[in-house]
Amino acid sequence: MCGIIGYIGAQKATPILINGLLRLEYRGYDSAGISTMEKNGLSVMKDKGRVKNLYDLDGINDLEGTIGIAHTRWATHGKPSKENSHPHLDNSKTFAVVHNGIIENYNDLRAFLIENGYTFYSQTDTEVIPNLIHYYYSKDAEKDEFKLLRAVQKTCKDLKGSFALQVLSKDLPDNMLVVRKDSPLVIGKGNGENYISSDIPAILSFTKDFYFLNDYEFAILSRDKIDFYDIDLNKITKKIKSIDWNASAADKNGYEDYMLKEIFEQPNAIRETIGSHLPENERCTFENLNFSKAFLQSINKIYIVACGTAMHAGLTGKIAIEQLCNIPVSVDIASEFRYRNPIIDKNTLCIYISQSGETADTIAALKLSKSKGATTLAISNVIGSSITREADYCIYTHAGPEIAVASTKAYTSQVMLLNILAIYFAEILESTPYSEIVKIKNEILSLPAKAETTLKCCNEIKNFAKNMYQEKDVFFLGRGVDYNTSLEASLKLKEISYIHSEAYAAGELKHGPIALIENGITVVSILTDELLVEKTISNIQEVITRGANTLVITNKTLPSNNIDKIVPIPDTHTSLSSILSIIPLQLLAYYISKEKGLDVDKPRNLAKSVTVE
């Protein structure tokens, strides 16, 4: 949830650090701070509230250091306050540390350190880390350049939980040390300078060349050198990876908010995700996959595991895979998956979806599947992210950086990629007639243009939002794939407008939820499956007769039947329809939030990348 930035080079660090923190604001936070290496030792400037508050701190403009670390904190241990903000110092003020993640055994470590004479000034779990480093550092009689590395290594072995750490030491004024476990951290390589971040977009304007650390890998950085070590402090070699995102993709490009920009980027994100997977008159291809017919025939079950929006994409992927491949698919919430002892063996394929590739619950579930012998496949939007390094195979959406907390283009790209994956499996298995495969491929290739057409409903949705932004409860209805879309639409509305909403399978309405329908309440229905048109219309009429206001998103020709608003979208294959039907509902959530005067890109209590369980 928190954000990390680091810089080591020849420029003043402070402006670079604060600029990086501003680019990480979408991750969610309640306080911010920086530490720089000054001539007289370590300087720490921090406070609760927004990053921009740092500009007002006394003395911050006097900082001259060219090495520094910075952090945005999202409170887990201790309330938002200056004292609980990062960076944290040890008692001797020799070490400054910023930390993403959670230290699960911090109470035990805190008690141990108090017994050894250390004092604590915050309520955080993080403060044990610099003091534990000092404890081991002071016990080491050696005076060589690796003394700090050994102290951090011993500290990390004591820590239970997740962490990405940046460490400065006044005894090593020309170096910075970083390490990670189960929390994202990237190193950007420049010319005579290096950058650290918890997320690529924050430093993308400075470099396109990145190193990605695996768990328990350490890096010691100087201005023109980076040395890598494993947990046993053996020196290792890391390959650099180039990221071809355009830095301007992280800017608003004239849109009022990142979310609106990203909604309108969906046609191109879909186009980029389709990429070269569907060559004309040839079978579907995935460069990173080499599945054989024998392997796919041996699979007796597929799990799709994800959280939130990615899980909703998985529900739609389930429909496509089952229909085209005749393989049973179960979709699980990652945070629940590990704790129900799922039935997994060597004949299980587990697909894990995470936009950031750093979702802690999803990564933990992936590790469990691997330990049980399953084949694992990761779907992510971030090259080199943790989940893609942990999985046996990985494939990528190509949505580009998604800055707004509420996911839009990542969702539609995930649904797109899952449908292409289903075709890939089906062609290998020969489980679906060729003519049907060709039909779906042609529909996929037409989707970017149809998404552009769908976006033309923008003004209609904006006007409808003006009539419902004061609602306290909203209900979404759908059947089949439309129910999955309803779940995602309801989540979007909750996330950014704070309106309570629920999604129901339309056929379940009379089994209880219809008791909640009263005069004036808004019910949004999605109708794209031609096999379920009549039944869904009947469900819509049930709420109309009870006084509900109705909005229907559909690609079918419907009689008005007293429906308040019908928003037409282009027709497409049923398994692909959620890619188009969700767009008006993303816009609906956006415009309702704007009518309420809320911060669309940074909704309260939420963060872009959930890196703690």
List, by residue number, the catalytic residues: 2, 608
Buried b (16+ CB within 10 A) or exposed e, 462-500: bebbeebbebeebbbbbbbbbbbbbbbbbbbbbbbbebe
Report helix angle 577-595 to 458-466, nearest 10.
40
Measure the CA–CA gap between 480 and 532, rounded to whole angstroms. 8
Strand ranges in 386-445 using DSSP code E only, listed in sequence order: 393-396
Compute and round to an integer the Cα radius of gyration of the chain: 26
- The Cα 397–Cα 16 span in angstroms is 30
- Give 330: exposed, middle or buried? Use CB within 10 Å, 0-12, 13-18, 19+: middle
- Ramachandran bin of 46, using left for φ above 0, alpha for ψ from -120 to 50, beta for the remaining angles: beta
As a residue count, the chain comes to 613
Within 13 Å of residue 150, how many CA atoms lie on the same side as its CB? 13
**Dihedral pair phi/psi, residue 449, rounded to 5°:** -65, -40
Residue 591: CA count within 13 A, CB half-sphere: 18
Q: Is residue 232 exposed (0-12), middle (13-18) or buried (19+ Cβ within 10 Å)?
A: exposed
Q: Scan for tokens 């071809």, then name that residue.
A: 244
What span, in angstroms and rounded, lies between the C-alpha atoms of 160 and 317? Answer: 35
Q: Which positions ≥6 away from 392 have C-beta within 8 Å? A: 370, 375, 376, 377
For residue 30, give Cα distances in angstroms to 23, 51, 77, 501. Answer: 15, 9, 12, 26
DSSP β-bridge partners for residue 176: 221
Cα–Cα nearest to 412, from 399, 425, 422? 399
Which string of DSSP letters, residue by residue, matches 313-355? Answer: HHHHHHHHHHHHH---EEEEEHHHHGGG-----TTEEEEEEES
3-state secondary structure of 448: helix
Token digits of residue 373 = 């012998």
Distance CA 475, CA 586 (A): 15
Rounded CA separation 129/201 (Å): 27
Give the span between the Cα atoms of 314 and 208, in whole angstroms: 31
Buried b (16+ CB within 10 A) or exposed e, 508-531: ebeeebbeebeeebbbbbbbbbee
Indicate the pairing of strand 95-103 with strand 88-89: antiparallel
Question: Around Cβ 49, how many Cβ atoms within 10 Å?
Answer: 15
Which among 368, 366, 384 has a CA at the least distance from the CA of 376?
366
